[in-house]
Amino acid sequence: MNKREKLIDEISALMTELENQDLVFLKEQAGVLDYNRKVRLKREAQPESGGSEADKGAFTVKNSATELQEVRIEQTERAKFFHICVGKVRLFMDSSEIRALFQIASAAGSPEEAGPRLFRWFKKERSDVLSEVYIPDGKSPVLKDLYQALLESFTSAS
């Protein structure tokens, strides 16, 4: 039995013990992972050299940087989970991730200072978010809007 088959068996065995809401959560997460895999494969299939600048930008991103994207944070029906909504994309986050993002935002003095910090956190902890929403760097307007949404949505529990 190879490593992949062993992992599939272990995951299958664990799923028999989970409640329905946990299975729904796992299904959603598997869908996100599958989507991200497909996006990555599509990007890797794009030629990196040759062609005009217009041709290089021909790959359609679900939410491009040029679109006006409203950023908001919504609590899910389960109190410990949230969606960060960026345009039409809903990013699933748990309370510890939201808490970490809030701490980064509240420690920053400005949106310009928060952007690179939030980018580093996403790159390390949730790189799927960077491709899902298209956040190319720490200067992305999405990060500035997220900074504002975090500060407006939460308060420090001192």
Sequence-distant (≥ 6) Cβ neighbours of residue 156 within 8 angstroms: 102, 106
| Calpha distance 157→102 (Å, rounded) | 11
**List of long-range contacts for 19-28, beta carbons under 8 Å, 24+ apart:** 21/78, 28/92
Task: Say what the pLDDT of residue 48 is.
Answer: 53
* Each residue's pLDDT tens digit, 92-131: 999 999 999 999 999 998 999 999 999 999 999 999 899 8
pTM (2 decimals)? 0.58
Query: pLDDT: is 79 or 127 the higher one?
Result: 127
Please report, to the nearest 10 degrees, the dihedral formed by the alpha carbons of residues 114, 119, 122, 127 taken in order. Answer: 170
| β-bridge partners, 82 | 75, 93
Residues across the chain? 158
